[in-house]
Amino acid sequence: MSLTDPPVCRRESCAVAVLLLAGLWLPAVADTPLRPAKAGDADAGARPRIALVLGGGGAKGGAHIGVLRALDELRIPIDCVAGTSMGALVGATFAAGLPPDEIERRVLAIDWSATVGTAGKRDLQPIQRKLRAATYTNDLRLGIRNGRLALPGGLLSSQSIEELLRQLVAGARAIDDFDELPVPFRAVATDMLSGEMVVLGDGDLALAMRASMAVPGAFAPVTLGSRLLADGGQVRNLPVDVGRALCGDVVIAAWIATPVPDPEELKTAVGMLSRSLDVMIDANTHAQLATLGPRDVAIRIDPGDVTASDFDRVPEMIPAGRAATLAQARQLQRYALPERAYRAWRARINRSGAQPIRPAALRITGTQRVSADYLRSQLVETRVGEPVSPEQIARDSERLYAVADFERVTWRLAGEPDEPAVEFHVQEREDGPDFFSFDFGLGGSAGGDLGFALRAEHERAWLNRRGGAWRNTAELGSRSQLRSRLNQPLDSRQRVYVESGLLAEQRIEDNYLAGRRAGEYRLQDLRWDLAGGLNLGRRAQLQAGVRLGWTRADLRSGPADFPEFGWRRESALAARAVYDTRDDIAVPTGGSLILLRYLDAGEWLDGEQDYSLGEALLFHAFSRGGTTGYMSAAGGKAFRGRLPVNRGFRLGGMRSFPGLERFERRGRAYWLVAAGINRKLLDIEPVFGQALYAGLRLTAAELNDAFDGRSQGTLYGAAVNLGGRTPIGPFALSLGATDQGDWQFQFGLGRPLDEGGIWDELR
């Protein structure tokens, strides 16, 4: 890409405003002359050449689509375009030859929760990655750089955004000189090393758009040669000088105004930081506006209460941009073409979308640790000799991104035009192969139950070309554990695997008598396990193996006749089957979970425990509009012997039976059915699925052969709840009651606490 220079500050997401403090630099601005764009139009010599300049604004920049629609209605020809951030996205799409109505159609069809957020991402993951322990309070995977823990280049993945950009300009992907586009174009970015403005005029058009939109802290910067490029708004939010140097005898400049804040909003550190960014951006923008002359046209767009991160409100900004442009119709009509001349100009620059591709070959490049054969096996829609659209290739690119810790995955057409090869290029994270994640959970009840969990996970992936992985867990809280597992696939597609692990665990659980807390158990396990398994696509897994170790149930306090035992050797066969299509592990709004487990302990290999048990869980979630619902059923039974107290089934807690305390009921057999419905009260951050819900849950259960000797028949309960996903993780409040007079007010934040049942298996 050719690199030159023009100015401003721009911010895409209010959600990451705090992260931008480190980005408040005063950039140096170089004044390298731009290449003049070619004339392109037969009538250019008879009229002034018009440059359209589109400023940044995040979601508010959707207004630029309305600007294009109004200019089209007024028959104003555009000879070149310069844009920053969201202005670069809209401007490049127009420059690639898409008419305004088609741009509007495509942008309105974007699912921003999937493009910017994480909606739909879990279903793309292979089952072995999907079942890897999840974090609830954040999505960060920290690597190691220069011997220290290092954050990724951006807190949000830009993979889906890059695929969106490639699709928007797919018809112009073969053009690497932006002067050769139907409308000459320039994107503005910031070199984060020098602080200078960079004008992008050739190379990969989608990459130029991505660089111009790379909000520091939110999205990883784009490396281009010796430059580290990020959001162009930091140095030129409204690149009037770039447009004028490119072709503009006349400049039409459209920018998003910043509303005057309420003084109350500036009484917090975050409010002041956000406002300081706005002040810098406004100063930069107004410096450019001051260069406009009497022939130029300024279009000021009022965003109302739409913020830069309100991507779900992009449709509201389109008519705002159109109205602001039509308000300047009198000035603009000086440059209008007659109907026939305008339609001829429009026909010359219009381009149809990309045509289907029939790949002659498929290639995977860029791999270092990850196996190219494994990546090739993950392609679903792109096949040699079969027609495929850019959208289908993009979906396969997303599938590749989901299988490993990649910085990004891109694709291009290589080879001869009549026999193209689809080439996927992966960029592995430089801070690998060791990755760390951290999580926390807090929960309690009005009855005095209070627990916490602090958890750290380590993973070293791709130990070998088959994809061997070493995973370690340390957790501190009401359940403390150290765990280490080694997983080794046996084939290149990772369908068959063996896994071995070590576990040291201690759980502190209350015990109850007649519904009242009577004391406390300390349950301990030390064991080694070896298992083999089968991964069935992206949704199912089968596993079976052996466990050898020692177990102990220590009654630290409580009635003397409660069961307990000292250290005993335990030898067991263990099996598990999982089918998982949930869209989210913390607050699922769609999909199903089926989990079956079987444990058989015997006297072989000097085992001192003799029992067998089976347990099953079925769960299904659904949503419609602002309402979500779910149904679940679970049950367990001891088939042989007497279950020891630490292997017994428990009921109680917000996930199993909200009207009871955690661990309140213990027995050797149970069944449970539940159904709930939740209604959305308000959106917190819709793009990231963050919302607050109120709901109702009904539960029925029966526990048999109770450890405290009580047999109470079927128990019915109801609970009202308030909760949802927040910026610091899932949050829940529950007030539950049973038909036997029990009631509990409970809360949870972040990682769910142990409830001692099958619900804990896949957290």
Residue 353 pLDDT more than 70?
Answer: no
Per-residue pLDDT of 56-87, as tens digits, reads 998 999 999 999 999 999 999 999 999 999 99
Residues forming beta bridges with residue 572, ordered by sequence position: 547, 601
Which DSSP helix (H) or strand (E) runs through 574?
Answer: strand 565-580
Residue 30 pLDDT more than 60?
Answer: no
Q: Distance between CA 330 and CA 589 in Å, rounded?
A: 50
The answer to whether the peptide bond before residue 420 is cis (omega within 30 degrees of 0) is no
Closest CA to 542 of 123, 131, 120, 121: 131
Neighbouring residues of 5: CB distance < 8 A, sequence distance ≥ 6: 29, 30, 31, 32, 196, 197, 198, 199
Whether the CB-CB separation of 232 and 222 falls below 8 Å is answered with no
Residue 2 pLDDT more than 60?
Answer: no
Residue 33 pLDDT more than 60?
Answer: no
| Lowest-confidence region among 153-167, 561-575, 667-681 | 153-167
Percentage of the residues of the chain whose pLDDT score is greater than 70: 93
Residue 31 pLDDT more than 50?
Answer: no
Task: Give the pLDDT band (50/70/90) at residue 364.
Answer: very high
Over residues 294-318, mean pLDDT: 92
Q: Distance between CA 61 and CA 71 in Å, rounded?
A: 16
Q: Distance between CA 401 and CA 331 in Å, rounded?
A: 49
Per-residue pLDDT of 198-228, as tens digits, reads 999 999 999 999 999 998 888 888 988 889 9
| Lowest-confidence region among 65-69, 364-368, 586-590 | 586-590
Q: Distance between CA 490 and CA 128 in Å, rounded?
A: 14
pLDDT at 316: 94
Residue 20 pLDDT more than 90?
Answer: no
Residues forming beta bridges with residue 648, ordered by sequence position: none
pLDDT at 269: 74
Neighbouring residues of 471: CB distance < 8 A, sequence distance ≥ 6: 132, 133, 457, 458, 459, 460, 484, 485, 486, 487
Task: Give the pLDDT band (50/70/90) at residue 45.
Answer: low
The domain made up of 361-428 has a fold known as Ubiquitin-like (UB roll) (3.10.20)
Q: One-letter amino acid identity for 371?
A: S
Task: Give the pLDDT band (50/70/90) at residue 555.
Answer: very high
Q: Distance between CA 737 and CA 379 in Å, rounded?
A: 50
Q: Distance between CA 737 and CA 717 in Å, rounded?
A: 6
Per-residue pLDDT of 620-629, as tens digits, reads 999 998 899 9
The number of C-alpha atoms within 13 Å of 90 and in the hemisphere containing its C-beta is 35
Highest mean pLDDT among 19-33, 121-135, 734-748: 734-748
Per-residue pLDDT of 394-450, as tens digits, reads 999 999 999 988 999 999 888 888 889 999 999 999 898 999 999 999 999 998 899
pLDDT at 25: 31
Neighbouring residues of 323: CB distance < 8 A, sequence distance ≥ 6: 66, 70
Whether the CB-CB separation of 166 and 106 falls below 8 Å is answered with no
Q: Distance between CA 755 and CA 763 in Å, rounded?
A: 11
In CATH, 434-750 is 2.40.160.50 = yes
Q: Phi and psi of 282, rounded to 5°?
A: -60, -40
Residue 22 pLDDT more than 60?
Answer: no
| Lowest-confidence region among 92-106, 110-124, 456-470, 662-676 | 110-124
Residue 12 pLDDT more than 50?
Answer: no
Question: What distances in angstroms separate CA 192 from CA 24, 198, 211, 237, one per listed residue?
Answer: 11, 10, 11, 16
Q: Distance between CA 163 and CA 88 in Å, rounded?
A: 15
Q: Residues 314-353, buried b or exposed e (16+ Cβ, 10 A)?
A: bebbbebbbebbbebeeebeebbbeeebbeebeeebeeeb
Task: Give the pLDDT band (50/70/90) at residue 323.
Answer: very high
Task: Give the pLDDT band (50/70/90) at residue 474.
Answer: very high
pLDDT at 559: 86
Task: Give the pLDDT band (50/70/90) at residue 13.
Answer: very low
Residue 19 pLDDT more than 60?
Answer: no
Please give the CATH number for the structural domain made up of 50-121+157-349: 3.40.1090.10
Question: What distances in angstroms separate CA 326 from CA 300, 472, 627, one per listed residue?
Answer: 11, 61, 39
Percentage of the residues of the chain whose pLDDT score is greater than 90: 67
pLDDT at 251: 97
| Lowest-confidence region among 5-14, 142-151, 241-250, 291-300 | 5-14
Task: Give the pLDDT band (50/70/90) at residue 236.
Answer: very high
Q: Which has more pLDDT, 364 or 24?
A: 364
Over residues 571-579, mean pLDDT: 97
pLDDT at 278: 75
Per-residue pLDDT of 656-696, as tens digits, reads 999 999 999 999 999 999 999 999 999 888 888 889 999 99
- Give the residue extent of every domain in the chain: 50-121+157-349, 361-428, 434-750
Q: Distance between CA 423 and CA 410 in Å, rounded?
A: 8
pLDDT at 689: 86
Q: One-letter amino acid identity for 76?
A: I
| H helix count then E strand count, the chain | 14, 31
Residue 255 pLDDT more than 80?
Answer: yes
The mean pLDDT value of the chain amounts to 89
